[in-house]
Amino acid sequence: MTMISMTGFARGAGSAFGHSWNWEIKSVNNKGLDVRCRFPSFLDGYDLTIKKIIEASLARGSVFVALNITADSDGGEFVINESRLRSLLDFAAKYAGEPGVSPAALDGLLAVKGVVELSLTEISEQDKKSLEATLTENLKHVVEDLNATRADEGARMLGVLNSQLQQVAELADAARARAGNRIEAMNTRFRMQLAKLENVEKPVPDERIAQEIAILAVKSDVQEELDRLDSHVEEARSLLAANKPVGRRLDFLCQEFNREANTLCSKSADSELTKIGLDLKVLVDQFREQVQNIE
């Protein structure tokens, strides 16, 4: 049984064909799978390979992949993005006379990301293909490391989720025990209210009292909601034990948990039962927060 979180991070590095590189991959929760890549411009189109590898290993999550490459020799050259530099100069000149604003220095402007880049466009097509093949193999190992961190986080979450489900089941049992005495309590309270009318000329017959109590009992009966809560707990436990992505199904199941908790509160005319319902709502909300990080 493996529970996979959508939160993870991994790094990797390597060198070949006169270049050194490092990978950084970060993933967070998302309703679907969204892969975003940042890599050198001379590897135009390589993002399709990156996405293919990610999609083969991950089912859900926002995944951010960054690849940085440097040349081991002087084969590359620095290129200044003059358009970006000119925009920065114009912006600096606009605020040059403002109080507290120091004049812009050229070395500071050149340090701005994207102003100076290392051009590696001189790499041959054959070396480029060989480099991409090596990068791809390296990326697969980094993705394995990412999955390992996601699995570790998932194992931690599994214990938390099972504990929360146990608390839901205990609250349902407490509500069932509390609701079991409600008909007798309603009968007593109803008769106490009628006792205040003892001087009325036409007293209420016992048959009518029984009818009214029966109507109140049906309207306030929570057994159906408690039975569904038990069923939802079992379904959630079954999903947590499944060896496949279950985050979406658990998220939908949380809506059902919340619906039963809301109905329990709305039907309750008892302060203790209402308290149990509110505790249940808080617990379901905490459960859903965890679930939204599951793949």
190 and 172 assigned to the same domain: yes
Domain count, the chain: 2
105 and 24 share a domain?
Answer: yes
Q: Could you read off the pLDDT tens digit of each residue along the chain, which spans 295 residues?
A: 578 999 999 999 999 888 899 999 999 999 999 999 999 888 889 999 999 999 999 999 999 999 998 877 655 566 777 787 788 788 778 777 777 777 777 777 777 777 776 555 567 788 889 999 999 999 999 999 999 999 999 999 999 999 999 999 999 999 888 876 555 655 566 566 656 656 555 555 666 655 555 555 555 567 788 889 999 999 999 999 988 889 999 999 999 999 999 988 887 767 888 899 999 999 999 999 999 999 9
Domain span holding position 31: 8-151
Taking the whole predicted model, whether its pTM rises above 0.85 is answered as no
To the nearest 10°, report the CA torsion of 121, 126, 128, 132. Answer: 170
**Are 23 and 11 a contacting pair, CB within 8 Å?**
yes
Domain final residue pick, 151, 167, 200 = 151
251 SS3 class: helix
Residue where a domain stops, chosen among 151, 170, 200:
151
One domain for residues 146 and 180: no
Kindly state whether residues 138 and 216 are assigned to the same domain.
no
CA distance 87 to 81: 10
CA distances from 246 to 2, 158, 256 (A): 11, 12, 16
- Residue 134 in any domain: the answer is yes
CB distance 26 to 9 below 8 Å: yes
CATH no. for residue 162?
1.20.140
Residue 223 near residue 264 (C-beta atoms within 8 A)? no
Q: What is the CATH number of the domain that holds 114?
A: 3.30.230
Query: Does 31 fall in a domain?
Result: yes
- Please tell me whether residues 19 and 122 are part of one structural domain: yes
Domain end point (choices 134, 151, 168): 151
Give the number of C-alpha atoms closer than 13 A to the C-alpha of residue 169, restricted to the C-beta side: 14
Domain check: are 132 and 193 in the same one? no
Establish if 2 belongs to a structural domain: no
Give the type of residue at 156: R
Q: Is residue 87 located within the same domain as residue 182?
A: no
Give dist(CA 59, CA 240) in Å, integer.
16
Residue 143 lies in a domain: yes
Rounded distance between C-alpha atoms, residue 203 and residue 193, angstroms: 12
Q: How many CB atoms lie within 10 A of CB 4?
A: 26
Instruction: Map tokens 């617990």 to a residue.
Output: 283
Can you say whether residue 204 is alpha, beta or left, with left for phi > 0 and alpha for psi between -120 and 50 degrees?
beta
Q: Based on the domain organization, do 207 and 126 belong to the same domain?
A: no
